[in-house]
Amino acid sequence: MKYNPHSYQEYATDFIDKNPVSCLLLDMGLGKTAITLTALCDLLFDSFEAHRILVIAPLRVASLTWPDELRKWEHLSDLRFSVAVGTETERKAALKVKADIYIINRENVQWLIEDSGIPFNYDTVVIDELSSFKNHQTKRFRSLMKARHKVKRVIGLTGTPSSNGLMDLWAEFRLLDMGQRLGRFIGQYRTAYFIPDKRNGQVIFSYKPLPNAEKQIYHKIADITISMKSTDHLTMPELVTAEYPVTLSGKERERYDDLKQDLVLKLAGGDVTAANAAALSGKLCQMANGAVYGDDGIIHHIHDRKLDALEDLIEAANGKPVLVAYWFKHDLERISTRLKERHIPFTKLDTSGSITSWNEGAWPVALIHPASAGHGLNLQSGGSTIIWFGLTWSLELYQQTNARLWRQGQNADTVVLHHIIAKNTIDERVMKALRDKDKTQTALIDAVKANL
Of 263, 279, 302, which residue is a domain's last? Answer: 302
pLDDT at position 163 is: 60
* Position 102 pLDDT exceeds 60: yes
* Position 47 pLDDT exceeds 70: yes
Are residues 45 and 191 located together in one domain of the fold? yes
Are residues 365 and 241 located together in one domain of the fold? yes
Are residues 123 and 181 located together in one domain of the fold? yes
pLDDT at position 105 is: 93
Are residues 239 and 150 located together in one domain of the fold? no
Q: What average pLDDT score do residues 65-85 get?
A: 92
Are residues 89 and 186 located together in one domain of the fold? yes
Residue 269 CB-density burial (10 A; 0-12 exposed, 13-18 middle, 19+ buried): exposed
Q: pLDDT grade, residue 114 (50/70/90)?
A: very high
Of 185, 202, 230, which residue is a domain's last? Answer: 230
- What lies within 8 Å, CB to CB, of 290 at 6+ separation is 301, 302, 303, 304, 305, 306, 307, 331, 334
Strand, coil or helix: what is 242?
strand
Give the domain extent around 291: 249-302
Provide the strand spans (E) within 141-281.
153-158, 194-196, 199-200, 203-204, 207-209, 225-228, 238-246, 264-267, 270-273
**Residue 322 is assigned to a structural domain of this protein:** yes
Structural Rg of the chain based on CA atoms: 23
**Among 97, 148, 92, which Cα is nearest to 124's?**
148
What CATH number should be reported for the domain holding residue 95? Answer: 3.40.50.10810
pLDDT at position 416 is: 86
**Residue 113 is assigned to a structural domain of this protein:** yes
Are residues 45 and 117 located together in one domain of the fold? yes
Q: Which ranges in 222-342 belong to alpha helices (H)?
A: 230-233, 250-262, 277-289, 305-316, 329-341
Are residues 50 and 151 located together in one domain of the fold? yes
Q: What average pLDDT score do residues 241-263 get?
A: 84
pLDDT at position 343 is: 92
**Residue 431 is assigned to a structural domain of this protein:** no
**Among 24, 13, 12, which Cα is nearest to 76's?**
13
**Among 113, 92, 98, 105, which Cα is nearest to 66's?**
105
Tally the domains of the chain. Answer: 3
**Among 337, 389, 278, which Cα is nearest to 401's?**
389
Strand, coil or helix: what is 419?
strand
pLDDT one-digit tens code per residue, 338-358: 999 999 999 998 888 888 898
* Position 199 pLDDT exceeds 80: no
- What lies within 8 Å, CB to CB, of 129 at 6+ separation is 57, 58, 61, 106, 157, 158, 375, 376
Are residues 268 and 164 located together in one domain of the fold? no
Contact between residue 67 and residue 99 where contact means Cβ atoms under 8 Å apart = no
**Residue 446 is assigned to a structural domain of this protein:** no
Of 261, 279, 302, which residue is a domain's last? Answer: 302
Q: pLDDT grade, residue 85 (50/70/90)?
A: very high
**Residue 121 is assigned to a structural domain of this protein:** yes
Query: Can you give the length of the chain in residues?
Result: 452
Amino acid letter, residue 162: S
- What lies within 8 Å, CB to CB, of 408 at 6+ separation is 29, 30, 31, 230, 234, 236
What CATH number should be reported for the domain holding residue 373? Answer: 3.40.50.300
Provide the strand spans (E) within 32-100.
53-57, 81-84
Are residues 269 and 323 located together in one domain of the fold? no
**Among 312, 277, 345, which Cα is nearest to 420's?**
312
Percent of the chain with pLDDT over 70: 89
**Residue 433 is assigned to a structural domain of this protein:** no
Are residues 194 and 242 located together in one domain of the fold? no
**Residue 393 is assigned to a structural domain of this protein:** yes
Q: Which residues of 372-389 are buried (b: 16+ CB within 10 A; e: fewer)?
A: ebbbbbbbbbbbbbbbbb
**Residue 2 is assigned to a structural domain of this protein:** no
pLDDT one-digit tens code per residue, 351-410: 888 888 988 889 999 999 988 765 557 788 888 899 999 998 888 889 888 888 887 777
Contact between residue 317 and residue 344 where contact means Cβ atoms under 8 Å apart = no
* Position 300 pLDDT exceeds 80: yes
Are residues 30 and 153 located together in one domain of the fold? yes
Amino acid letter, residue 124: T
CA atoms within 13 A on the CB side of 282: 13
pLDDT at position 95 is: 95
Are residues 101 and 181 located together in one domain of the fold? yes
pLDDT at position 200 is: 78
Adjacent-strand bridge partners of 208: 195
